[in-house]
Structure 1
Amino acid sequence: MSRARRTREQQQEQTRQAVREARLRRAGDAERLRAILHGADLPLVVDELERMNTRQRATAFRMLPRDSSVRALQMLEPAVQAELVEALPDAQARLLVAELDPDDRARLLDGLPMDLSERLLRSLTPQEWEATAAVLSHRPETVGRWSTPRLVSVSQEATVADALRAVRADTGDAETVYAVPVVDAEHRVVGVVSLRRLLATDPGRPVHEVMREPISVYASDDQEDAARVVRDHGALAVPVLDDDHRLVGMFTVDDAMRVLQIEEAEDEARAVGRERLDRPYLTTSFLALARGRITWLLILIVAATLTVNVLDHFEDQLQQVVSLALFIPLLIGTGGNIGAQAASTMIRALAIDDVRPGDVFRVMVKELTTGLTLGVALAVFAYLPAQFFTESRVALVISLSLVVVCGLAATAGGVIPLVARRLGVDPAVVSAPFITTFVDATGLVVYFLIAGAVLGL
């Protein structure tokens, strides 16, 4: 291990230890801890804060320098933010909330009790209250809730020198100045110019000669769709417009990346049949964990009744060849795994716009071919071992069933997310329960039909 790496790890451990000690609030150590935490690596500080209970977190948080405390608050999970602000003295809470950007402040106030939220709003200056109210006027989970009204914009009639003066005048208030919207007389965005271009251009040139076509989003757009626009275009910030195409804010790259992180965590959770945790695991109660899983478990139990009905229908075949029952878990388990693989691949492809709902027939053919290929490979692999447990004809039933079930499962796993997207439903929400139900039920029907044909039942 290099000396630089050892030094960095020692500094990280010192920061973690300082945060852990800060929760105890030892009077004699206060200055030493503040000195360590001053300029400390904030992600490490936040990681330790999120591992504490509410009282310890509030105690340790009060030891942070003021500038660090604001940034640390912004980095905490929303539910943890709300708990922390509730646990802090009113005076400190008001100071912290006043320091936040309007979009960050609006999301925090959303998670607070109504009375506390109103008290904090009343403590703001008229300008800050107006900016926060503007963000809160947008619907939840739209990009409007993530847009900052603190921005620099310039008229299309302005010169480069005028634009640079505007940037310098508002640098302290604006959340970003790296992309400057250019607007017309009605405050509609006609272009965007980067700060770099302004600095490299003759100050006397008109702005409309150096601006480029704007990449913009509407405040009513879904937050995930808007975040993908920022990511796909490699933009540092994009203008946010209202329904009349007027500029209302800017959506920055750091907020876009956070939206994508939230959405991906939500999709991953729903793909395995649970809800996304809104706080770190160690600070989530067992009741919250159970609540996030119980709904999906109930849905899957209801769906499983279809499988029970299929078994009941083919009860006579099972009684005639009891050994068929031995391989039911293998069959539906393999089908479920293949369906899950196809679904996760498709959900990811949809997320990055690699496929679209209109590609459903191409996806169907590709996944059917892939599933049949896997089925043949697994059937060959399973045929010989199956003969150790049962007769060769039953082994043949198992192999043939694997081929068909794998083809059906892969096709369902690829198509169901596309159909869900076409219907305006989150693919991650429906994929897990629908694929499980489809594969279990159809897999058993296929199995018993093939058994009836091969064994003459």
Structure 2
Amino acid sequence: MSESEQVEQPALGELVEQNDLTGIRLWLAEHHPHEIADELARMDSSQAIVPFRLLDKDRELEVFEELDPPHQQEILLGLRDSAFHELIAEMDPDDRARLLGEVPAKVATRALAGLSPQARKMTAALLGYPEGSVGRYMTPETVVLHRDLSVGRALEVVRAQGHDSETIYTLPVVDDGRRLAGTVQLSDLVLLDPETSIKDTVDVLVPRVSAVSDAEEAARLMQDANLLALPVVDSEERFVGLLTIDDAVELIEAADTEDIARQSGASPLAGHYVAASVWAMARARSVWLLLLIVAATLTINVLQVFEATLEQVTALALFIPMLTGTGGNVGSQSATAVVRALAVGEVRVRDLPKVTWRESRVGLLLGCVLAVIALTVGTLLVQDLEIAAAVALSVIAICTWAAVIGGAMPLLARRVNVDPAVVSAPLVATLVDATGLLIYFTIARAILGI
């Protein structure tokens, strides 16, 4: 059968709406857990629970752990008590702790009540770490090796305990006080002589983080150091867990998603875009728009101050949209570049002088290039060289100023413990609009002698 003759397979949501249980089972059998989770996230809770209940037991947990906590909660509330407790108990401790940290207290209490004493103690320990810290995301289920073991004995320990561990590829090595000595890779162990001592092969320089450290920063560290797992220690350097690569990827994705939302002047949505209600999306954007419209009143005030100047030379008003738009765009570009550099650790707060000096030169160069166009456009539109010169000089000054503001504001925000993304593109553009008009009218009045 040719591709044009093939019938497109219905989406899972369509099969649910048609109550086609056979079709749902076939669809689930033909798709990977992450694909199933994405389809479930697109549905409302009453629909998503139907295909989830039809999953095989061995795939149910895989799909569930691919979901974000808001969707996991919706699924849990649709399950009977036995299925509810069985699913919670099978989750990895770190995934379970993150879920219970976000659900209502009533749901968390119900979940903890069904756990074994050991699982409950482990989960409570992870929940005891601050929200957003590495401790909430690390896995305590690891194979820990003593530094005095031989390679052969270490491999026996891995075989004996590996089934109960989330990862065995990176193995922490500790001393008698459980203080972290370093790590060894399983791939190295299997290639070494069984009589070799672990302490002769351990990587003592491997990066490590405190359990109360920021989780996003730890994930970025793993990305920079190309690690599959990052050791986590307590205040006394005792090993307490590993941050694994899958959790690090999720942390970076969540942080980038939040930054993108903040940079567009909105609050991040909880859950899938398609499943979000119109009301939720409007609410996420409205708060920032209200703040920005209040900030935009600065522009109105500036225009009122220079109202007499506009009455004398009305041609100046023609160039206001061009100047404010250009300044806003330059400021937004600078802010976005610095926010990104902050996120990946390329710049720090102490680099503020270096960043502002660099951005001022970039803005000046851009302004000079754009000033040539502004001078040409101004001359053709109003046929007044003085006005055209005022516009061209304003472009240079505004671009330089906007680049400095855009580069400095994220760093200043970080210094006062505010998310740099919050003060990025929209807010920078709004502030540059008002200050750019001050620059424009000041230059125009000086050149025109008003």
Same-fold call, TM cutoff 0.5? yes
Q: Report what 1:21 is aligned to.
A: 15
Task: Report the Cα distance in structure 1 between the residues aligned to 2:358 and 2:253, rounded to whole angstroms.
Answer: 30
Q: Report what 2:327 is aligned to.
A: 335
* 1:20 CA displacement: 4.1
Question: Of the candidates 48, 52, 73, which is equivalent to residue 57 of structure 1?
Answer: 48
Task: Report the Cα distance in structure 2 between the residues aligned to 1:22 and 1:332, rounded to whole angstroms.
Answer: 51
Task: Report the Cα distance in structure 2 between the residues aligned to 1:18 and 1:271, rounded to whole angstroms.
Answer: 34
* 1:75 CA displacement: 1.1
Q: CA 1:84–1:34 in 2, change beyond 3 Å: closer, same or farther?
A: same
Q: Secondary structure at the match of 2:283?
A: helix
Q: 1:179-198 residue pairs with structure 2 within 5 A? A: 179-198=170-189
Q: Secondary structure at the match of 1:127?
A: helix
2:389 alignment partner AA: L
Matched, 1:140 2:131: yes
Q: Report what 2:363 is aligned to.
A: 371
Asked if the contact 2:24/2:51 (under 8 Å) is kept, the reply is: no
Runs of 4+ in 1 over 4 A off after TM superposition: 22-25
Write the deviation string for residues 282-302 of structure 1: whole angstroms up to 9, x where unpaired.
Answer: 111122112211221122122
Q: CA 1:17–1:312 in 2, change beyond 3 Å: closer, same or farther?
A: closer
Question: Of the candidates 404, 411, 432, which is equivalent to residue 397 of structure 2?
Answer: 404
Q: CA 1:242–1:20 in 2, change beyond 3 Å: closer, same or farther?
A: farther
Q: Report what 2:146 is aligned to.
A: 155
Matched, 1:116 2:107: yes
Q: Secondary structure at the match of 2:182?
A: strand
1:228 alignment partner AA: R
Write the deviation string for residues 62-83 of structure 1: whole angstroms up to 9, x where unpaired.
Answer: 1111222211111112211111
Question: Of the candidates 260, 268, 272, which is equivalent to residue 260 of structure 2?
Answer: 268
Asked if the contact 1:39/1:68 (under 8 Å) is kept, the reply is: no
Write the deviation string for residues 149-188 of structure 1: whole angstroms up to 9, x where unpaired.
Answer: 1111011122212211111112221000111111111111
Q: Report what 2:277 is aligned to.
A: 285
Q: Report what 2:158 is aligned to.
A: 167
Any gaps of 5 or more consecutive residues in structure 2?
none
1:294 alignment partner AA: S
Q: Report what 2:308 is aligned to.
A: 316
Task: Report the Cα distance in structure 1 between the residues aligned to 2:27 and 2:50, rounded to whole angstroms.
Answer: 16
Asked if the contact 1:143/1:223 (under 8 Å) is kept, the reply is: yes
Identity %: 42
Matched, 1:77 2:68: yes
Matched, 1:105 2:114: no
Q: Report what 2:431 is aligned to.
A: 438
1:367 alignment partner AA: E
* 1:19 CA displacement: 6.2
Task: Report the Cα distance in structure 2 between the residues aligned to 1:348 and 1:449, rounded to whole angstroms.
Answer: 34
Q: CA RMSD in A?
A: 2.1
Moved more, 352-361 or 73-82: 352-361
* 1:391 CA displacement: 3.9
1:236 alignment partner AA: L
* 1:423 CA displacement: 3.2
Q: Secondary structure at the match of 2:274?
A: helix
2:15 alignment partner AA: E
Asked if the contact 2:152/2:194 (under 8 Å) is kept, the reply is: yes
Asked if the contact 2:330/2:399 (under 8 Å) is kept, the reply is: yes
Q: Report what 1:127 is aligned to.
A: 118
Q: Report what 2:442 is aligned to.
A: 449
* 1:305 CA displacement: 2.5
Task: Report the Cα distance in structure 1 between the residues aligned to 2:276 and 2:12, rounded to whole angstroms.
Answer: 24
Task: Report the Cα distance in structure 2 between the residues aligned to 1:86 and 1:319, rounded to whole angstroms.
Answer: 66
* 1:358 CA displacement: 2.7
Q: Report what 2:225 is aligned to.
A: 233
Task: Report the Cα distance in structure 2 between the residues aligned to 1:361 and 1:270, rounded to whole angstroms.
Answer: 25
Q: Secondary structure at the match of 1:251?
A: strand
Asked if the contact 1:371/1:411 (under 8 Å) is kept, the reply is: yes
Q: Secondary structure at the match of 1:283?
A: coil
Matched, 1:326 2:321: no
Matched, 1:307 2:307: no
Write the deviation string for residues 281-334 of structure 1: whole angstroms up to 9, x where unpaired.
Answer: 111112211221122112212222322222222121112112222221211111
Task: Report the Cα distance in structure 2 between the residues aligned to 1:176 and 1:306, rounded to whole angstroms.
Answer: 56
Q: Secondary structure at the match of 1:171?
A: helix
Task: Report the Cα distance in structure 1 between the residues aligned to 2:108 and 2:33, rounded to whole angstroms.
Answer: 26
Matched, 1:207 2:201: no
Task: Report the Cα distance in structure 2 between the residues aligned to 1:193 and 1:411, rounded to whole angstroms.
Answer: 47
* 1:351 CA displacement: 1.8
Question: Of the candidates 39, 43, 53, which is equivalent to residue 48 of structure 1?
Answer: 39
Matched, 1:221 2:220: no
Q: Report what 1:429 is aligned to.
A: 422
Asked if the contact 1:303/1:433 (under 8 Å) is kept, the reply is: no
Write the deviation string for residues 412-449 of structure 1: whole angstroms up to 9, x where unpaired.
Answer: 11222222233333211222354234312220111111
Q: Secondary structure at the match of 1:166?
A: helix
Moved more, 267-276 or 346-355: 346-355
Task: Report the Cα distance in structure 2 between the residues aligned to 1:363 and 1:381, rounded to whole angstroms.
Answer: 27
* 1:219 CA displacement: 0.8
Number of residues of Structure 1 aligned to a counterpart in Structure 2: 446
1:290 alignment partner AA: A
Asked if the contact 2:151/2:194 (under 8 Å) is kept, the reply is: yes
* 1:205 CA displacement: 1.9
Matched, 1:415 2:400: no
Asked if the contact 2:151/2:198 (under 8 Å) is kept, the reply is: yes
Taking structure 2 as the reference length, the TM-score comes to 0.94
Q: Secondary structure at the match of 1:282?
A: coil
Write the deviation string for residues 315-357 of structure 1: whole angstroms up to 9, x where unpaired.
Answer: 2111211222222121111100011011111111222222222
Asked if the contact 1:54/1:83 (under 8 Å) is kept, the reply is: yes
Task: Report the Cα distance in structure 2 between the residues aligned to 1:402 and 1:341, rounded to whole angstroms.
Answer: 16
Write the deviation string for residues 363-385 of structure 1: whole angstroms up to 9, x where unpaired.
Answer: 22221122122112212112233
Asked if the contact 1:37/1:65 (under 8 Å) is kept, the reply is: no
